[in-house]
Amino acid sequence: MENNVKKKKYITKPMYSRTLLYSIVNVTVEICYDECRGDSNEE
């Protein structure tokens, strides 16, 4: 039983960090995209 719980925890954690990482990358790309467009608009 303990082994089963351990396995479940191990599966859940990577999924959570992957979602978190995806969110951070998504926001970073959006900000970078906005800044790039802002730079080209200023010229």
Instruction: Report DSSP letters for 3-20, one per residue.
Output: HHHHHHHHHHHHHHHHHH
Q: Which residue has the higher pLDDT, 17 or 4?
A: 17
Helix (H, G, I), strand (E, B) or coil at 43: coil
Q: What amino acid is encoded at 11 in this protein?
A: I
pLDDT in the model for residue 26: 92
What length is written for the chain? 43
Instruction: Evaluate if residue 18 carries a pLDDT over 80.
Output: yes
DSSP-assigned letter for residue 39: H
pTM exceeding 0.75: no
Average per-residue pLDDT for the chain: 76
